[in-house]
């Protein structure tokens, strides 16, 4: 252990090898049923390589054009694209690229930040601060599922470290203020939804910096500090205007709270999901950390823990006004809460005066974190016990699906028998079946017509009706409430019942018994859709969404 204290990078190298083996084991247990966000950036990495094969200029243009206007830009796909190109276009190499180039840098910076917050720690406490973030399910689970979002956390951590080490009330700090703005913009550039954390940081970083470096109130220094943080804000805004003006205009013109209404859950459900991600069993340490602040003598620790609490609650409240957090959105919330919980663990351990008890305490904590991570990633049995299900982290087992051969048969039939004869669309939108899943199963050889998924975001896309073949399920599959996805349920109901637009379709081929009691059928359009049937369908949409009548597409 002394060797690793002298050469910390060697320690992280060992950890990288260990977690890479875990990742390979995890992916080996998965089935090829990745869909939506699980495969988004893998697809982008593959696309960049396809463009590079055509011309070296095309991927560069694609990256910058997506940064300029897209909600999901190609920036985070650059490193994975290089990695999978060198090692082969396989899922495991894509995940390893995220693990090595996004996950570990973010966790190394997290450890550096913890050392800056808690500079005086024992050897046992140093182990806790190093290993517990590495074993947090809130960080490792999104990475194994293919999310790149933890890479954005590195920009946040660098911004905080810069604030902890720089007195922005000094006049010579202007250049560092520009860097601070660039770092905070970097998080937004990497993943747009970090905007909520950035807003919270722009409110709290000036207070933290002034409180850390100024023991008395000095108006002139306060003015200088505020001027520097204003400069940081202006630099961030300038970078957005320079590189992302198209996206900014889109954001200002879009009511995200409305179009993502279907993803909004009760506030209490969002709280539970956020607690569940790292595991509710660490909540007592979180609470103990906040309570222990009253007795904390180290001003720096007290300020940093309060700073973390402010950002946790503020950014969480801002985010939940738009939608409920998913597995990837919890990353910054887990980051803030883990700082507070780690302080609670240190405070509890320091109440044990005997070193032997502290060793047992620290070893037990590390064992519990390791066990919780193992349970979340590789087991199911503990989650059948209600108490353990409530305390353990969110279960994130390798992706598998019931009746997997049926999915393979459906995809093979579509590629071999139907795609050569006409276009295909999938009228299903859930984890049981969706077009993204079939694209993955078909190794991108299946070219499906992309159809509308969400009513308020997409409206009804008539291109669905131009497909010769439709894949329809019974019961009809939606990943949100059916009332949020009538663009799926209304056409599917007509086709399954043979009424309305269903008059133009007939069932063909085999049926496919999928998971959760769902059966998929193939329908062929055998006649033009009658105008009265199309009008009947649109009238039903207009009854729910009168504004759609004003849309040129309708």
Q: 6 pLDDT exceeds 70?
A: no
pLDDT for res 52:
94
Q: Which residues, in sequence order, are CB contacts of 299 under 8 Å at separation 6+?
A: none
pLDDT for res 453:
93
Q: Where is pLDDT greater, at 88 or 515?
A: 515
The average pLDDT across 489-518 equals 96
* pTM for this prediction: 0.93
pLDDT for res 8:
61
Closest by CA position to 132, among listed 380, 334, 381: 334
Give the per-residue SS3 of 250-318.
Answer: HHHHCCHHHHCHHHCCCHHHHHHHHHHCCCHHHHHHHHHHHHHHHHCCCHHHHHHHHHHHHHHHHHHHH
| Domain ranges for the chain | 2-30+90-357, 404-550
| pLDDT band per the 50, 70, 90 thresholds, residue 264 | confident
**What is the DSSP code (8-state) at residue 476?**
P
Q: CB–CB of 455/487 below 8 Å? A: yes
The separation between CA 185 and the C-alpha centre of its own chain, rounded to angstroms, equals 18
Q: What is the pLDDT of residues 296-332, one digit of tens each?
A: 999 999 999 999 999 999 999 999 988 899 999 999 9
- Rounded distance, CA 189 to CA 239, Å? 10
The average pLDDT across 156-175 equals 94
- Rounded distance, CA 353 to CA 357, Å? 8
The average pLDDT across 494-516 equals 96
The separation between CA 51 and the C-alpha centre of its own chain, rounded to angstroms, equals 26
The average pLDDT across 232-236 equals 97
Q: 336 pLDDT exceeds 60?
A: yes
Whole-angstrom CA distances from 453 to 193, 256, 259, 278, 459 are 21, 16, 12, 30, 8
Q: What is the pLDDT of residues 340-399, one digit of tens each?
A: 999 999 999 989 888 888 889 999 999 999 999 999 999 999 999 999 999 999 999 999
- How many CB atoms sit inside 10 A of residue 397's CB? 16
Give the per-residue SS3 of 510-553.
Answer: EEEECCCCCEEEEEEECCCCCHHHHHHHHHHHHHHCHHHHHCCC
SS3 355: helix
- Rounded distance, CA 329 to CA 172, Å? 36
Give the per-residue SS3 of 207-229.
Answer: HHHHHHHCCCCCHHHHHHHHHHH
Q: CB–CB of 148/105 below 8 Å? A: no
Q: Where is pLDDT greater, at 358 or 409?
A: 409
SS3 485: coil
pLDDT for res 191:
95
Whole-angstrom CA distances from 243 to 31, 70, 248 are 39, 11, 10
Q: CB–CB of 459/548 below 8 Å? A: yes
- Rounded distance, CA 223 to CA 214, Å? 13
Q: What is the pLDDT of residues 134-163, one digit of tens each?
A: 999 999 999 999 999 999 999 999 999 999
How would you label 243-260 residue by residue, b for 16+ Cβ within 10 Å and e otherwise?
bbeebeeeeeeeeeeebb
Give the dihedral sign, CA 118/120/122/127: positive
């Amino acid at each position: 252990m002394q060797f690793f204290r002298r050469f910390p990078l060697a320690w992280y190298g060992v950890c990288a090898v260990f977690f890479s083996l875990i990742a390979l084991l995890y992916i080996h247990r998965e089935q090829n049923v990745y869909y939506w966000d699980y495969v988004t950036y893998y697809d982008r990495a593959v696309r960049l390589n396809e463009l590079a094969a055509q011309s070296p200029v095309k991927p560069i243009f694609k990256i910058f054009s997506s940064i300029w206007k897209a909600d999901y830009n190609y920036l985070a796909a650059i490193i994975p694209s290089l990695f999978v190109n060198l090692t082969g276009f396989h899922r495991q190499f894509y995940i390893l690229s995220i693990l090595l180039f996004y996950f570990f840098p973010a966790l190394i910076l997290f450890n550096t930040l913890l050392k800056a917050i808690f500079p005086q720690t024992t050897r046992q406490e140093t182990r806790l601060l190093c290993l517990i973030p590495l074993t947090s399910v809130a960080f490792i689970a999104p990475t194994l599922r293919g999310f790149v979002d933890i890479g954005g956390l590195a920009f946040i951590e660098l911004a905080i470290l810069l604030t902890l080490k720089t007195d922005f009330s000094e006049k010579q700090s202007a250049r560092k203020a520009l860097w601070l703005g660039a770092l905070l913009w970097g998080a937004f550039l990497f993943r747009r939804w970090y905007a909520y954390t950035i807003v919270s940081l722009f409110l709290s970083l000036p207070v933290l910096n002034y409180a850390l470096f100024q023991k008395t109130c000095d108006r002139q220094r306060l003015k200088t500090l505020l001027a520097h943080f204003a400069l940081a804000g202006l630099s961030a805004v300038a970078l957005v205007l320079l590189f992302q003006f198209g996206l900014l205009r889109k954001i200002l013109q879009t009511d995200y709270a409305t179009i993502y209404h279907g993803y909004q859950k009760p506030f209490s459900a969002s709280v539970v999901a956020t607690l569940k991600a790292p595991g509710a069993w660490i909540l007592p340490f979180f609470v103990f950390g906040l309570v222990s602040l009253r007795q904390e003598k180290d001003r720096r620790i007290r300020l940093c823990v309060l700073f973390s609490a402010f950002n946790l609650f503020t950014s969480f409240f801002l985010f939940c006004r738009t939608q409920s957090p998913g597995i990837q959105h919890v990353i910054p919330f887990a980051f803030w809460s883990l700082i507070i919980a780690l302080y609670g663990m240190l405070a509890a351990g320091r109440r044990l005066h005997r070193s032997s008890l502290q060793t047992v305490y620290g070893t037990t904590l590390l064992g519990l974190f390791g066990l919780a991570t193992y349970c979340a990633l590789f087991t199911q049995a503990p989650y059948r016990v209600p108490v353990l299900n409530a305390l353990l982290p969110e279960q994130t087992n390798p992706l598998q699906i019931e009746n997997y051969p049926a999915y393979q048969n459906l995809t093979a039939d579509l590629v071999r028998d139907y795609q050569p004869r006409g276009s295909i669309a999938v009228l299903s939108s859930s984890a049981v079946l969706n077009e993204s899943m079939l694209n993955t199963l078909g190794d991108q050889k299946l070219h499906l017509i992309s159809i509308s998924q969400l009513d308020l975001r997409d409206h009804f896309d008539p291109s669905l009706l131009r497909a010769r073949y439709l894949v329809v399920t019974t019961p009809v599959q939606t990943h949100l409430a059916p009332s949020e996805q009538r663009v799926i349920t209304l056409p599917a109901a007509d086709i399954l019942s043979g009424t309305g637009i269903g008059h133009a379709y007939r069932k063909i081929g085999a049926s496919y018994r999928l998971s959760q009691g769902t059966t998929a059928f193939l329908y062929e359009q055998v006649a033009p859709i009658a105008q009265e049937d199309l009008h009947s369908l649109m009238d039903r949409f207009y009854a729910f969404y009168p504004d759609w009548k004003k849309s040129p597409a309708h």
